[in-house]
Structure 1
Amino acid sequence: LDASIGPRTLALILMWFLMAIGAMLPSAAPMIRTYCEIADTARIKGEPVVHPLVLVAGYLSVWLAASMLFAAVTLAVHAFAATGGIFDPLLGAAGGLALLVAGLYQFSGLKEACLKKCRNPFSILFSNWSARTVRVFQLGVAQGIWCLGCCWALMLVMFAVGVMNVFWMALIGVFTLIEKQTAGSLPTRLAGAILLVWAAALLVVSL
């Protein structure tokens, strides 16, 4: 095996993880703030509380695992798709298929279910409140899973625009923040429609 595969894979994992932190932590801020508010109330009552960083660690552990998967997909795409470099956008049908999956997922029931959980962290945190470190970490993991379920398909856009495209990652971060803070499905459906039109254009051009 090529000795450079290990370091390259680690670098890709770190890259995806840093991008995920930059894109997803802002939209997770309401969840973290809600936990802190509940913790402050418990502390005033004299009850023991777990530091919110434990919750954040659980949340980020999910995105670290997801980053490993995205890194593996990046390497696989680079090996089998027609790209000039590992960070280059997917061309033609491959890019169109990535956008097609991302667009269709915006209309799925799973997307809607995960988004509802992300929009209402108070009920989950309050009903599962615990003063045990392990339990709070698990709460963070649960919130991370809901967030991943909500946003994983949007990450596929990065394959169509280039996985090192900071502008698009920032744009995804802004969109997820708006999506989670806006009632209704308009932002989600609008983004899905845009992605589907974009996918159709790439697929038609590639014929």
Structure 2
Amino acid sequence: MRLDQRGDSAHSVVMTGHQDDFSHLDRAGRAMANVARNPRLTVNIVVGAGIAFAWLLLGAMAIRGADVRGSAPGDTLLHGLPQLPLPDFLERFFALCLSPAPLDASIGFRAVALTVMWFLMAIAAMLPSAAPMIRTYCEIADTARIKGEPVVHPLVLVAGYLGVWLAASVLFSALTLSVHTFAASREIYDPVLGIAGALALLVAGLYQFSGLKKACLKKCRNPFSILFSNWSAKASSVFRLGVVQGIWCFGCCWALMLVMFAVGVMNIFWMALIGVFTLIEKQMTGSLPTRLAGAILLVWAAALLVVSLSVGEIR
């Protein structure tokens, strides 16, 4: 559904009753005013800036994490990148996220830091794949505006969507903390983390073949029916729509996020790969990419489990 220029003009008349006049503003002011009255442009700018900011922080964290990890994929490249000076609170935040062993901070602080880290990963890897949802909502909203109907800003929808991933980040944080705490208590990081990673890959691989995965992916690929049938001019209802779409997305992608336990939660290269895969998976039709990924994950899980058990026996 696309609107022509005449439709956009009608939109402004219906919404305001007259053409907005920003001639009294300077150039920067006129630009900001035009952005503010264009919800589609606003949400694209905010979402794009949020994704870029998340990748920026995760990139800085990954550079520092390359010194903590052993030899994860891409660490050689990261070693050659400069570590830019950052505020003390960010350095402390990075340390809480990257250290597998408990630091001198309380478990509460570390849980919060890990939650923020997982949420940043969700923004970086999962929010781009929400583009079909955002685009569809904006197209329906454009039509509603032309008819003179009130429309809730699409950022409310995005907030509901991200609310689900924030809740998921709490769960992933608790799981990360549990695995690291157990490994620290036994002083056997390598085999425990390796086995945990293998189990995560096994679950992720099997889930790719499940009916629930297929159902959730179908909803993610076709958000129009949900958005159109539940359309509302109330902010609370639109927020709930975002939550519903977020739940479908979580149902589609939660298992892929478990892959980070196998490759290291701050492996930025695998994070990017997962983000690209989810974006492609939601744009394509058919089940070939999903099933192929599932097969690869299962083979990988078996190999990692064998290696981890061998390390445990040697120790």
**Residue equivalent to 2:174:** 72
1:135 aligns with 2:237: yes
Q: Which is further off, 128-137 or 196-205?
A: 196-205
Q: Is contact 1:90–1:162 with CA below 8 Å preserved after alignment?
A: no
For 1:74 and 1:203, how far apart are their aligned partners in 2?
Answer: 18
Percent of aligned positions with the same letter in both sequences? 84
For 1:152 and 1:199, how far apart are their aligned partners in 2?
Answer: 17
**Residue equivalent to 1:166:** 268
After superposition, where does 1:27-38 map in structure 2 within 5 Å? 27-38=129-140
Structure 2 counterpart of 1:181, one-letter code: Q
**Residue equivalent to 1:83:** 189
For 1:50 and 1:83, how far apart are their aligned partners in 2?
Answer: 49
**Residue equivalent to 2:164:** 62
CA drift of 1:7 comes to 1.6
**Residue equivalent to 1:4:** 106
Q: Which is further off, 163-172 or 132-141?
A: 163-172
Structure 2 counterpart of 1:64, one-letter code: L
Equivalent pairs counted in the alignment come to: 201
For 1:151 and 1:95, how far apart are their aligned partners in 2?
Answer: 17
Task: Indicate the SS of the match to 1:90.
Answer: helix
Answer 1 or 2: higher relative contact order, Cα 8 Å, separation at least 6.
Answer: 1
Q: What TM-score do you get using the length of structure 2 for normalisation?
A: 0.62
Q: Which is further off, 161-170 or 54-63?
A: 161-170
**Residue equivalent to 1:182:** 284
For 2:262 and 2:300, how far apart are their aligned partners in 1?
Answer: 10
**Residue equivalent to 2:144:** 42
CA drift of 1:20 comes to 0.3
Structure 1 counterpart of 2:296, one-letter code: I
For 2:306 and 2:127, how far apart are their aligned partners in 1?
Answer: 36
For 2:304 and 2:175, how far apart are their aligned partners in 1?
Answer: 21
Task: Indicate the SS of the match to 2:189.
Answer: coil
Task: Indicate the SS of the match to 1:46.
Answer: coil
For 1:174 and 1:3, how far apart are their aligned partners in 2?
Answer: 35
For 1:99 and 1:80, how far apart are their aligned partners in 2?
Answer: 19
Question: Over alpha carbons, which structure has the higher Rg?
Answer: 2
**Residue equivalent to 1:122:** 224
For 1:80 and 1:192, how far apart are their aligned partners in 2?
Answer: 28
Name stretches of at least 5 consecutive residues in structure 1 with no aligned partner: none
CA drift of 1:3 comes to 4.9
In the TM superposition, what whole-angstrom CA distance separates every residue of 1:75-103 from its partner, at most 9, and x where no partner exists? 0010113426xxxx922x32211110110
- Residue 98 of structure 1, aligned match among 189, 194, 200: 200
**Residue equivalent to 2:300:** 198
| Aligned residues: CA RMSD | 1.3
Structure 2 counterpart of 1:188, one-letter code: T
Task: Indicate the SS of the match to 1:136.
Answer: helix
Structure 1 counterpart of 2:170, one-letter code: M
Q: Is contact 1:90–1:161 with CA below 8 Å preserved after alignment?
A: no
Structure 2 counterpart of 1:131, one-letter code: A
In the TM superposition, what whole-angstrom CA distance separates every residue of 1:99-147 from its partner, at most 9, and x where no partner exists? 1011000000100000000000011101111001100000000000000
